[in-house]
């Protein structure tokens, strides 16, 4: 059994290294982190965790306290997978921010390449002094007027990604406000019903006179 587990772990380790070596190259993040290599590493470690759990589960059946052994192995497996999931989420957030920054940079570079319109005082200053040049300028004016105008590109709206903890807190506050409004509405409705019942309640008959 020990030899089988050792061979299984060595096989998974070599497959994880092969996956990292064969992964296509990608752009590094701001901290010099390779996205493809990190994804391959997380995937390989996840496979190793699953294989280790299966091997430990098989070994647990050879022990006396089978359930305790399997439960302990499941706890370790759950913690390992949760840690890998957190790493994967952080990697996705960093890559999303990098792509957004690159898109904004491309739009800014495109705006810089375009020639800005000439101010009015510079156009007045550039008028020709003699009639010959004026005639040439007059002939060029219709051609310039008929030329299509290039629209200015708009800066793309990059959505702001909220932190999961902040989003959860805002959702909890919104749910609390909604429940409070429901309670206030129910109390107001009950108060109105009580007032209406008191108004429609018949008055008590007067007591008969004493003999």
* Region 114-136 average pLDDT: 59
pLDDT of residue 5: 43
Lowest mean pLDDT among 12-26, 54-68, 119-133, 148-162: 12-26
Q: What band does 36 get if pLDDT is binned at 50, 70 and 90?
A: confident
Say what the pLDDT of residue 168 is.
78
Residue 47 pLDDT exceeds 90: yes
pLDDT of 141 > 50? The answer is: yes
Task: Say what the pLDDT of residue 139 is.
Answer: 56
The confidence band for 23, taking pLDDT boundaries of 50, 70 and 90, is very low
pLDDT at 8 over 50: no
pLDDT value at residue 77: 93
- Please give the residue that has the higher pLDDT: either 103 or 119: 103
Look at residue 205 and tell me whether its pLDDT is greater than 50. Answer: yes
What does the alpha-carbon distance between residue 24 and residue 143 come to, in Å, rounded to a whole number?
51
Mean pLDDT for all residues in the chain: 74
Q: Which residues pair with 28 in a beta bridge?
A: 34
d(C-alpha 124, C-alpha 164), whole Å: 58
């Amino acid at each position: 059994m020990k030899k089988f587990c050792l061979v299984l772990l060595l096989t998974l380790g070599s497959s994880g290294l092969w996956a990292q070596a064969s992964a296509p190259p990608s752009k590094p993040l701001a901290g010099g982190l390779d996205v493809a290599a990190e994804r391959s590493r997380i995937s390989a470690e996840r496979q190793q965790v699953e294989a280790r759990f299966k091997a430990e589960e098989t070994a647990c059946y050879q022990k006396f306290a089978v359930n305790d052994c399997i439960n302990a192995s499941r706890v370790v497996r759950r913690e390992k997978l949760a840690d890998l999931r957190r790493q994967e989420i952080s990697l996705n957030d960093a890559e999303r921010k990098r792509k957004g920054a690159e898109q904004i940079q491309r739009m800014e570079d495109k705006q810089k390449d375009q020639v800005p319109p000439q101010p009015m005082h510079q156009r007045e200053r550039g008028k020709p002094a003699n009639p010959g040049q004026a005639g040439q300028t007059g002939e060029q004016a219709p051609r310039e007027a008929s030329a299509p105008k290039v629209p200015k590109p708009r800066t793309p709206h990059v959505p702001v990604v909220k932190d999961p903890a902040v989003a959860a807190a805002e959702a909890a506050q919104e749910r609390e406000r909604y429940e409070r409004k429901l309670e206030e509405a129910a109390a107001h409705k009950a108060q109105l019903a009580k007032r209406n019942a008191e108004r429609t309640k018949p008055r008590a008959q007067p007591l008969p006179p004493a003999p």
